[in-house]
Structure 1
């Protein structure tokens, strides 16, 4: 499958909303039960990109959005500012085609360049394909939380995976640079 990666834009929100809607209704990656509309997805997009987190779109050769990925705060307390959580969502026809792997690799590259030191994947439903993509990118198992969600008539587990970025925890971050300035008053 031929595709390119680029920054997602507000004009992608209808396609992003459709992909996420399918995931909410049919999948277990998101524990949301009711898919948000375009206005809510645009608000989420603006909140993420407004804090300079990367938000990436995978576009097919014929211009169709195949999937998207973004990094966001794992938690908003100041000490967490060097840790990001990744999120990846794919259209059904893009699954198993290398799109998720490419999106994750680019997200890792961009977050490393921004100065983040750790990336965590919170994998709802312990989805095997998501675990495999993260493992292939170098993520290590960080924990299993059993029965964290109930969706589609069954209990779902959540797997945590983690990847050091850049110098990881081997050095102190440089004060006053992004992401050190996140969540400071």
Structure 2
């Protein structure tokens, strides 16, 4: 059978038309760099302004993140980012000191935030597992998550999936957007590979 130029019958049936390959969600996990801080700030500030996942009410600044980055570098605590093949920061995970006394030096609090479009694809679990692994390599024994008791179900599920158990609740300890908010504490016992040198002895 022959078709004349312009004959609409030349259009292939739908099931025979070439289909564009689905976009692959690719990323790499690496330690954060100073150049990542503006992107990390924007991810965090999105949640500050639009959710009660964090109880911070004021948007963070670059000096704030530089100070945090310097502190965690000095304490040798992991600060990880997930980046796309094009170098875009998709999310970050950080382990920071739990409370302020030196006796808590083997316990850290984790924080994980994903940028727009990066949620629901398994990245949160990969980042949290990488953070756990990095903490165990540094001799950390306990990891604590402090989670809002409102609109943070995904975070609770994520931590439970990776072995965190609820350790307690405190109701109405926060107030944001005209609402009283509580916190849920979850904890995971780590398996440190080695005992790290003591950090923060001057605090």
TM-score of the aligned structures, taking structure 1 as reference length? 0.90
**Match of residue 98, structure 1, among 122, 131, 134:** 122
Q: Does 1:158 align with 2:175?
A: no
1-side partners of 2:44 and 2:149: how far apart? 16
2-side partners of 1:12 and 1:26: how far apart? 22
Gap regions ≥5 residues in structure 1: 168-172
Alignment of 1:23-102 (within 5 A): 23-102=47-126
1-side partners of 2:102 and 2:65: how far apart? 25
- The CA deviation string for residues 46-67 of structure 1, in whole angstroms up to 9 with x for no partner, is 1122211000000112221010
Q: Name the stretch that deviates more: 41-50 or 18-27.
A: 41-50
1-side partners of 2:46 and 2:165: how far apart? 28
1-side partners of 2:166 and 2:179: how far apart? 23
- Hey, which bits of structure 1, 4+ residues long, moved more than 4 A? none
Q: Does 1:113 align with 2:130?
A: no
Structure having the higher Rg = 2
Gap regions ≥5 residues in structure 2: 1-24
How many positions carry a matched residue from both structures?
177
Q: Which residue of 1 aligns with 2:201?
A: 184
Q: RMSD of the alignment, in Å?
A: 1.7
Q: Which residue of 1 aligns with 2:3?
A: none
| Cα pair 2:75 2:200 within 8 Å, conserved | no
1-side partners of 2:26 and 2:85: how far apart? 6
TM-score of the aligned structures, taking structure 2 as reference length? 0.82
> What's the secondary structure of 1:93's corresponding residue?
coil
| Cα pair 1:76 1:183 within 8 Å, conserved | no
